[in-house]
Amino acid sequence: MKPLVKFPENMPSPLKIVGEEITILSSNSETSDYELFIQDGPEGSGPPPHSHDWDESFYVLEGSIEFGYNDEKLIARQGTLVHLPAGNIHWFRFAAGGGKMLSITGQKSNASNLFTALAKEIPSGEPDIVKITSVAARNGVAIKVE
């Protein structure tokens, strides 16, 4: 496998997913292992509680982001790393003023396919949780519906 280098001028355009913008920096087909994303969102945006069979780590680049996992909640500000092992039910919300983070997924990740499908199949506006749940399930993500 060849080294992967992407300069800023060659980065893909961000995907627009239910208020958030996600840039796929690398998919596991490019790295043979993990995936990297930049996630940028306005205040209040973020996914519903969900789980999947890959690890996921987040490094907050700007702003602050509220994370929930199991029965815990925390506010992660710029410079904070949050690692969530596979199988944990988790969620996040961009806090006041929005934020930006680097996310890294572990082996078996299907996040790049999930994000691409969500951007293609979910129109902007009020999120359709039934449709989001369906797209997520096809991509190995279980949404916890309350």
* 45 in a structural domain: yes
* 1 in a structural domain: no
Q: pTM for this one?
A: 0.93
In order along its 146 residues, the chain shows pLDDT tens digits of: 789 899 999 899 999 998 899 999 999 989 988 999 999 999 999 999 999 999 999 999 999 999 999 889 999 999 999 999 999 999 999 999 999 999 999 988 999 999 999 999 987 777 788 999 999 999 999 998 76
* 2 in a structural domain: no
Full domain range(s) for residue 121 = 8-143
* 60 in a structural domain: yes
* 3 in a structural domain: no
* 111 in a structural domain: yes
DSSP one-letter string for 76-143: EETT-EEEE-TT--EEEEEEEEEEEEEEEE-TT--HHHHHHHHHHHS-SSS--HHHHHHHHHHTTEEE
Please state the domain count of the chain. 1
| CATH number reported for the structural domain that contains residue 108 in this entry | 2.60.120.10
